[in-house]
Amino acid sequence: MNIQVTYKQIEGLTRIVMRRAASHSAQTKDALLPPLMLYRRILRAHRVLPEVQRSIGDKYVKNEFNLHKDIDNPLHIVAFLTSWQDYLHMITNGQWQEGTLSKSSLEKMSPEQVGQLYELMKETERVLSGKPEDAKDKKQ
């Protein structure tokens, strides 16, 4: 049985899950934004970044939201939105240059996530050094 879940259904589900979570936890400061609203706010927040960082950030955000648009597990949805909302707060508070990754956070990552982080680091170093893209990368 193949179940198709739309982005609107995910947004609705996110609202329901967050309402329930907020009612059970006095520690909840900010309710999670719906996916589309969060996506748009992140892209707007990127406007204050230098051109190179904005370009990399926009591409990465668009790719990640596209890859995760068909997720139907509520826990994964909440974790995804929470991480991106934390990122949005970091960008809007001007803390984007000071971000660090703790050892415990790195240990919690899957091998795929560590690989993705490594590729992002390499690409960032390449862009900051002014080196052109490899020909093989342009074909992909």
pLDDT (tens digit, 9 = 90+) per residue, 24-67? 444 445 688 999 999 999 999 999 988 888 998 999 999 999 99
- Within a domain: residue 83? yes
Q: Which domain holds residue 85?
A: 7-93
- Within a domain: residue 135? no
- Within a domain: residue 43? yes
pTM as predicted: 0.59
**Over the stretch 59-115, which tens digit does the pLDDT of each residue have?**
999 999 999 999 999 999 999 999 999 999 988 887 766 667 788 888 988 999 889
- Cα separation of 63 and 55, whole Å? 12
- Within a domain: residue 21? yes
Cite the DSSP H helix spans in the chain.
7-24, 35-45, 51-67, 74-92, 103-108, 111-129, 135-139
Mark 43-58 as b/e (b = at least 16 C-beta within 10 Å): eebbeebeeebeebbe
Distance of CA 125 to the CA centre of its chain: 20
- Within a domain: residue 33? yes
3 state DSSP class of 5: coil
Structural domain count of the chain = 1
Of 137 and 134, the structure prediction assigns the larger pLDDT to 134
Instruction: Note the pLDDT of residue 83.
Output: 92
